[in-house]
């Protein structure tokens, strides 16, 4: 956790063995922490493309601990737990991602001398993503899938959800994780339960850091 | 007998003060003593406990000046506290609404502090009577005064329990007890206050004793309620604060004990 954090010294995983969490909570969170790093649904090429895309959607400080977004996406697609609904103009989750990643790959190869999406520069990746967002990509590479809709309904929904479902992101934003079994007592604004992250006031980061050493 | 009746009232006041001390300490800790005035009931209820214990050990006639001051302080604290809690309700979004009555600072809680002061005040007034005389308060038979005021107090405490048990949807049938037994006890005390003095009223005494026992049993029921919260007692730091208040029910015990003291006074010093 960098010093710029608004919750200095806070690690949501310190709550693991406290009354805040019980066995089912720990099991659910452990599953996210120990996600398979070997592809189970995506091909190696799709994985590389998804990894590059995720890094541009949610850039992370590569020096520190990162959330393995490509691995989490692969696990999500492998498990195939959908949204519970499907919009009429969108394919099912698995097909949408497979088609979207293939289309991005084809766009990159067509525009950048046959280089795959993962291999082109970050600026080129960003301009491709921007064109996808604005609906400026050629329909030829997007059979059965609208590029703009793929960006809005899958990329912008799934990637942030995977990021903010991970304990590393919880520590970053001062989220306490599942309120199960222990919820909260002091529900008014700016009142803190002892098992909540302490937010730093500018200039008083040490006070918050001390509190965050004992979030139990 | 006069001193013994006064001592019983001292003990009743002490019982209520103990309930207020623990309840306000827990609830105001939950509120982080956000307003420094939230320390007030901790101080006044502690003093009231000390005064009540002193009164319990004191076998002399005559009101005690320091005890009187402390009990007066408790009475005033309760009234001011009620005003503060009312203000707390009105400044919430929505103002006067069931939501805010249920979940803001409890209106009835500070009133218990006043009831403690009232019982203490009555204790000192009873004690202030000459040995061997028929005890009176402001010229009225003391037993009648204590019975009437204790009965009214029981109704007030019932209102608070009723509000919070209604919030809890009376999900456990036992939650109906503190809204049924105390009003009946209050009715019996009202009858005693205006009725004939010489009758022994064994049924009323038994009913008041049962009400006193209910206040103690309430703690056990509330402890069970805490255990039913997710995580149970292991998660006491949430459940003991967000669940049913453990120290609240003995306020009924204190008032029922005062009611018993009133009946004893009426039986010993009939005014007919």
The CA dihedral of A143, A146, A152, A153, to the nearest 10 degrees, is: -60
* Nearest CA-CA partner of A35 in A78, A97, A92: A78
Q: How far apart are CA B41 and CA A53, in angstroms?
A: 60
* Residue of B230, B240, B244, B245 to mutate, testing the A interface (most A Cβ within 10 Å of its Cβ): B230
pTM for the model? 0.85
Residues A46 and A147 reside in one and the same domain: yes
Question: What tens digit of pLDDT does each residue of B175-231 get?
Answer: 999 999 999 999 999 999 999 988 889 999 999 999 999 999 999 999 999 999 999
pLDDT at B156: 95
Write A43-48 long-range contacts (CB < 8 A, 24+).
Answer: A45/A105, A45/A116, A46/A98, A46/A101, A46/A102, A47/A74, A48/A116, A48/A117, A48/A118
Q: Which residues pair with B136 in a beta bridge?
A: B141
The answer to whether the bond into A61 is cis (omega within 30° of 0) is: no
The residues, any chain, with a CB within 8 Å of residue B11's CB and separated by 6 or more, are: B52, B56, B257
Give the pLDDT confidence score for residue A1 in this predicted structure.
Answer: 44
Q: Which residues of B touch A (CB under 8 A)?
A: 30-32, 34, 230-231, 234-235, 237-238, 241-242
Give the tokens for residue B171: 């999900």
User: Number of structural domains, chain A?
Assistant: 2
Looking at the fold, whether A77 and A109 belong to one and the same domain comes out as: yes
Cβ–Cβ gap A182/B32 under 8 Å: no
Contacts of B32 in chain A (CB under 8 A): 186, 191
Asked if A5 and A97 sit in the same domain, the reply is no
A50 shares its domain with A145: yes
Burial A48-60 (b: 16+ CB within 10 A, else e): bbbbbbbbebbeb
3-state secondary structure of B141: strand
Tell me which chain A residue has its CA closest to the CA of residue B26: A185
| Residue A86 sits in the same domain as residue A131 | yes
The answer, for A184 touching chain B at a CB cutoff of 8 Å, is yes
CB proximity list for A206: less than 8 A, separation 6 or greater:
none
Q: Are residues A134 and A80 located together in one domain of the fold?
A: yes
3-state secondary structure of A121: coil
Domain that holds residue A210: 1-20+176-216
Chain B residue with minimum CA distance to A22: B231
Q: What is the pLDDT along chain B (272 residues), one digit of tens a residue?
A: 899 999 999 999 999 999 999 999 999 999 889 999 999 999 999 999 999 999 999 999 999 999 999 999 999 999 999 999 999 899 988 989 998 988 888 888 999 999 999 999 999 999 999 998 999 999 999 999 999 999 999 999 999 999 999 999 999 999 999 999 999 999 999 999 999 988 889 999 999 999 999 999 999 999 999 999 999 999 999 999 999 999 999 999 999 999 999 999 999 999 87
Q: Do A116 and A39 lie in a common domain?
A: yes
Q: Which residue in the set B34, B234, B242 is minimally distant from A185, CB to CB?
A: B242
Question: Which of A19, A193, A194 is facing B231, going by the closest CB pair?
Answer: A19
A24 touches B at CB < 8 Å? no
A38 belongs to a structural domain: yes
Average pLDDT of chain B, as a whole number: 95
Contacts of B22 (CB under 8 A, 6+ apart): B246, B247
Which residues of chain B lie closer than 8 angstroms to A186, CB-CB? 30-32
B-facing residues of A in 70-99 (CB < 8 A) are none
Residues A68 and A152 in one domain: yes
Closest Cα partner for A32 from A52, A13, A17, A11? A13
Spell out where B129-191 has E strands: 136-137, 140-141
Over residues A165-211, the pLDDT tens digits come to: 999 999 999 999 999 899 999 988 888 999 999 999 988 899 999 99
Q: Are A182 and B231 in contact (CB < 8 Å)? A: yes
Query: With contacts defined as CB-CB under 8 Å, which chain A residues touch B240?
Result: none
Sort out which chain B residues have CB atoms less than 8 A from A183's CB and list them.
230, 238, 242
Distance of alpha carbon B12 from alpha carbon A57, whole angstroms = 68
A214 touches chain B (CB under 8 A): no
Nearest to B8 by CA among B43, B61, B44, B52: B52
pLDDT at B108 (0 to 100): 87
The contacts of residue A23 (CB under 8 Å, 6+ apart) are: none
Residue A209 belongs to a domain? yes
- Residue B209, classed as helix, strand or coil, is helix
Nearest residue on chain A to B241, alpha-carbon basis: A185
With respect to residue A25, please indicate whether it lies within any of the assigned structural domains: no
Q: Within this chain, do residues A57 and A129 fall inside the same structural domain, yes or no?
A: yes
For residue A3, what pLDDT is reported?
57
Same domain, A38 and A75: yes
Cβ-nearest to B231 among A181, A184, A191: A181
A44 in any annotated domain? yes
- The partner residue sitting opposite A181, judged by closest CB among B31, B34, B235, is B235
Cα–Cα separations (whole angstroms), residue B246 to A14, B27, B220, B250: 30, 11, 8, 9
The dihedral over CA atoms of A130, A132, A134, A135, expressed in degrees to the nearest 10, equals 160
Partner residue opposite A182 with nearest CB, options B30, B32, B238: B238
Q: Do the Cβ atoms of A186 and B237 come within 8 Å?
A: no
Q: Is B185 exposed, middle or buried (0-12, 13-18, 19+ CB in 10 A)?
A: buried
The dihedral over CA atoms of A36, A38, A39, A44, expressed in degrees to the nearest 10, equals: 150
For residue A141, give every residue at least 6 positions away whose Cβ sits within 8 Å of its Cβ, in sequence order, or none: A103, A106, A107, A110
Contact B230 A19 (CB under 8 A): no
The CA distance from A56 to the nearest CA of chain B, in Å, is 41
Cβ neighbours for B14, distance < 8 A, ≥ 6 positions apart? B48, B49, B52, B53, B55, B56, B254
Per-residue model confidence as pLDDT tens for chain A (216 residues): 445 789 999 999 999 999 999 999 999 999 999 999 999 999 999 999 999 999 999 999 888 889 999 999 999 999 998 889 999 999 999 999 999 999 999 999 999 999 999 999 999 999 999 999 999 988 888 988 999 999 999 999 999 999 999 999 999 999 999 998 999 999 888 889 999 999 999 888 999 999 999 988
| B79 contact partners, CB below 8 Å, separation of at least 6 | B110, B114
Mutate one of A23, A24, A25, A183 to test the B interface: name it (highest B CB count within 10 A).
Answer: A183
Contacts of B237 in chain A (CB under 8 A): 19, 182, 185, 193-195
Q: Beta strands of A10-88 (E only): which ranges?
A: none
CB-side neighbour CA atoms (13 Å) of A193: 21
Beta-carbon-side half-sphere exposure of residue B118 (alpha carbons within 13 Å) = 24
| Residue B213, C-beta contacts closer than 8 angstroms, at least 6 positions apart | B253
Same-domain check for residues A91 and A151 = yes
- Residue A47 falls within a domain, yes or no? yes
A96 and A129 assigned to the same domain: yes
């Amino acid at each position: 956790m960098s010093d710029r954090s608004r919750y200095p010294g806070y690690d949501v995983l310190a709550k693991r063995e406290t009354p805040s969490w019980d066995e089912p909570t720990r099991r659910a969170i452990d599953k996210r922490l120990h996600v398979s790093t070997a592809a189970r649904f995506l091909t190696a090429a799709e994985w590389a493309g998804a990894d590059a895309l995720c890094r541009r959607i949610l850039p992370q400080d590569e020096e520190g601990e990162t959330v393995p977004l490509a691995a989490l996406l692969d696990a999500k697609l492998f498990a195939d737990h959908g949204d519970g609904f499907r919009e009429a103009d969108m394919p099912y989750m698995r097909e949408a991602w497979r088609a979207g990643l293939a289309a991005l790959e084809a766009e990159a190869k067509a525009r950048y001398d046959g280089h795959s999406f993962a291999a082109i520069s970050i600026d080129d990746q960003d301009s491709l993503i921007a064109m996808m967002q604005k609906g400026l990509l050629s329909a030829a590479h997007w059979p059965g899938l609208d590029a703009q809709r793929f960006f809005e309904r899958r990329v912008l929904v799934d990637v942030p959800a995977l990021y903010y479902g991970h304990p590393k992101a919880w520590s970053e934003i001062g989220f306490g994780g599942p309120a199960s079994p222990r919820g909260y007592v002091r529900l008014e604004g700016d009142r803190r339960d002892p098992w909540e992250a302490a937010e730093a006031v500018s200039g008083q980061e040490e006070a918050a850091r001390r509190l965050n050493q004992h979030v139990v | 007998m006069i001193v013994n009746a006064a001592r019983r009232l001292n003990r009743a006041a002490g019982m209520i003060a103990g309930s207020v001390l623990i309840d306000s300490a827990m609830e105001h800790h939950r509120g982080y003593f956000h307003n420094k005035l939230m320390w007030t009931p901790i101080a006044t209820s502690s003093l009231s406990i000390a005064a009540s214990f002193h009164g319990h050990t004191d076998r002399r006639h005559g009101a005690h000046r320091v005890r009187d001051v402390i009990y007066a302080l408790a009475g005033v604290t309760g009234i001011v506290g009620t005003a503060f809690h009312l203000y707390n309700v009105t400044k919430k979004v929505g103002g006067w609404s069931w939501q805010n009555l249920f979940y803001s600072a409890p209106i009835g809680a500070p009133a218990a502090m006043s009831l403690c002061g009232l019982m203490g005040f009555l204790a000192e007034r009873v004690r202030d009577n000459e040995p061997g005389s028929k005890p009176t308060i402001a010229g009225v038979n003391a037993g009648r005064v204590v019975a009437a005021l204790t009965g009214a107090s029981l109704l007030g405490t019932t209102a608070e329990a009723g509000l919070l048990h209604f919030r809890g949807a009376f999900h456990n049938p036992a939650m109906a007890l503190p809204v049924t037994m105390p009003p009946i006890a209050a009715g019996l005390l009202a009858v005693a206050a205006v009725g004939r003095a010489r009758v022994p009223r064994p049924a009323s005494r038994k009913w008041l004793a049962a009400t006193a026992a209910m206040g103690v049993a309430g703690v056990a029921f509330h402890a069970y309620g805490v255990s039913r919260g997710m995580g149970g007692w292991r998660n006491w730091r949430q459940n003991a604060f967000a669940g049913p208040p453990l120290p609240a029910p003995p306020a009924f015990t204190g008032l029922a004990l005062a009611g018993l003291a009133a009946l004893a006074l009426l039986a010993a010093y009939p005014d007919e």
